[in-house]
Structure 1
């Protein structure tokens, strides 16, 4: 009979293994010596040790499912329970029990992890849905559209939830995208209609602008071009492929007109500058008549100067008041001298002087009323003209009053 710490072979060739529950029959060995029998069944035991070791490693280092792990454990346990090996079978059972605990623990951890991932996925998808529903109301068509496309990619990367929850969230998400697309489509359809209307309006404006480009009615045409520009701005933008071409034609027509007007105005400005020079020379000639000594000679000389003055054309608008004022000053001086002479040679004309004074006073009062009215209406050009006339009438009135005083003396 042969034996070792974990097993023995009796005289009949029966092999036993020692366990905590006592000896268990392993099998019968008739092919050789007892030592060979124990060695054979010890190798069986080593095979189980290796198999358990490999399974432990798989459980720890791979994603082996709990179901497959339990099936493998059960398969090894059946072999251990069958006692077809010689060795510490109780130790193998203990290792298998610990392996079961490990598998169950990992299964629970995975279950909790899946629950956590599912909860995170739910919150993530709910956040995507909320953002999509907010974007559905946006008018930032480009940015919102790009963001919605990015949300779809994010959605695809998230785990699926339970079917009911996932379908409900996807329905809301898809509805938000559809609502945005519908609003965007309606917006651009309306925009296309507006741009087509703008194109038609601008075609009409271009046609009129081109028809006016050859006009020489400078003031009226320039005013009409200003109106056309206001209408152009109010029309909005046409389609991109038409807008630039229409604008180039519209602007080109204006350029033709204003270039021609500028050329004419440049010639006119040069002519008016020359006229101003001539009138300044005449004003200087008239001022040399002052102070008036020979009234008759001065009157004749001023008449000659005034005739030449009238023959000269317009001067620049901003220079007109000053040069005309110089001539008016000489004219008033002549009128004053004539009044003096008249009173000196007509001492009996008191009554007529009084009548003239009354008329002049009435004329002055009337002019002042007209000036005030013109200012109130914003017609400053007429007011300025009336004020120059008022200055002459006031001077006559002052002279007439002075004559009355002389009559009174």
Structure 2
């Protein structure tokens, strides 16, 4: 007979293991010595030790599901309870019990994490819906349309909620987008209708202008051309593909008439030369307004110059484009300053910029906390991944902050 602290072999070759409940039969051995029998079943015990160790490591360091972990634990426990090994089986049961507790703890942690992620996803989607519903009433067609498309991409990147909640939020989100698209479509349909009306009006004006181009009734015809020009401006813009052609024909007809009149009234050349000098002087005065620093003062100054400009007669045709171009350049600069002032003081654009900045700041703060947590837990790969994402969000935040500064902070 042979024995050790955890088992023995009797004279019949039966192998026993010692437990807190007394000796339990492990098996029988007839192929060799009692020492070999004990060594064999001790190796089976060591195998169980290794299996438990590997399972403990998997539970600790991998995403092994609770269900798979419990199945593996049950498989090992069956072997331990069957007493087919020689060793401290109670110690193995204790480790298995602790492992069960660990699995349950991780199951609860993951459950809590999933609940937190679900709450965060719900809040994010509710925020997207709220913003989409605000944008649905916007008349900033290009900016709002681009932002709505960006919101769709953001939505696609968020986890799904429970089906009922997700469907309800998506219905509101989709309804807001549809409402915006419907309003935009109606707006541009109306705009197209207005431009078509403008095209028909301008075609009539062009036909009359071309009919008058050969007139020699200089005074009456020139007056009528001025009326036609006023009607042209009041008609609004036609479609882009028609506007330039109609304008060239309209302007060309006038040029024909005024060129003929100029040849008849050659004596007026001197007067037009003087007019050119006056207008060049006024153009120079207008250019002194730039750059625009005080918009109100600039408008008043340009209005004064323009009133004097309008009081001056024609200039030589070959010089008209250049001198008028100088005035138009000043006028465009003032208009651009007005548009810039409007954009800067637009409360809707400011609110959108501030809202985006706040969202990005929250995202940056959250990512920074996750990076620190991952570093503290020693999860270097996750920390590096989060840090790269943080860099991207920080860049977007910097850009948004810069844009917000344009609104005066």
CA distance in 2, matches of 1:244, 1:87: 98
- The residue aligned with 1:204 is 204
CA distance in 1, matches of 2:28, 2:46: 19
| TM-score, length basis structure 2 | 0.64
Q: Does 1:54 align with 2:44?
A: no
- The residue aligned with 2:214 is 214
Secondary structure of the structure 1 residue equivalent to 2:266:
helix
Q: For structure 1, which runs of at least 5 residues remain unmatched after alignment?
A: 272-409
CA distance in 2, matches of 1:147, 1:269: 57
Give matches, 1:224-235, under 5 Å: 224-235=224-235
Write out per-residue CA displacement over residues 304-324 of structure 1, whole angstroms, 9 at most, x where no aligned residue: xxxxxxxxxxxxxxxxxxxxx
CA distance in 2, matches of 1:145, 1:268: 56
Q: Post-superposition shift, 1:51? A: 1.2
Give matches, 1:388-399, under 5 Å: none
Displaced runs of 4+ in structure 1, greater than 6 A?
none
- The residue aligned with 2:266 is 266
Give matches, 1:33-182, under 5 Å: 33-182=33-182
CA distance in 1, matches of 2:118, 2:83: 45
Write out per-residue CA displacement over residues 329-357 of structure 1, whole angstroms, 9 at most, x where no aligned residue: xxxxxxxxxxxxxxxxxxxxxxxxxxxxx
CA distance in 1, matches of 2:133, 2:197: 33
CA distance in 1, matches of 2:208, 2:160: 65
Q: Post-superposition shift, 1:270? A: 6.7
Secondary structure of the structure 2 residue equivalent to 1:23:
strand
CA distance in 1, matches of 2:32, 2:269: 139
Write out per-residue CA displacement over residues 51-76 of structure 1, whole angstroms, 9 at most, x where no aligned residue: 11121121122211111111111111
Secondary structure of the structure 1 residue equivalent to 2:237:
coil
CA distance in 2, matches of 1:106, 1:251: 81
Q: Post-superposition shift, 1:203? A: 0.6
Secondary structure of the structure 2 residue equivalent to 1:250:
helix
Q: For structure 2, which runs of at least 5 residues remain unmatched after alignment?
A: 272-409
Secondary structure of the structure 1 residue equivalent to 2:27:
strand
Q: Post-superposition shift, 1:103? A: 0.8
Q: Post-superposition shift, 1:263? A: 3.0
- Whether contact under 8 Å (2:41, 2:85) holds in the other structure is yes
Q: Which has the larger radius of gyration?
A: 1
Q: Post-superposition shift, 1:262? A: 2.7
Q: Post-superposition shift, 1:269? A: 6.4
Give matches, 1:232-381, under 5 Å: 232-267=232-267
| TM-score, length basis structure 1 | 0.64
CA distance in 1, matches of 2:192, 2:270: 51
> Using a 3 Å threshold, how does the CA distance of structure 1 residues 81 and 268 change in structure 2: closer, same or farther?
closer
Q: What RMSD in Å do the two structures reach over aligned CA positions?
A: 1.5
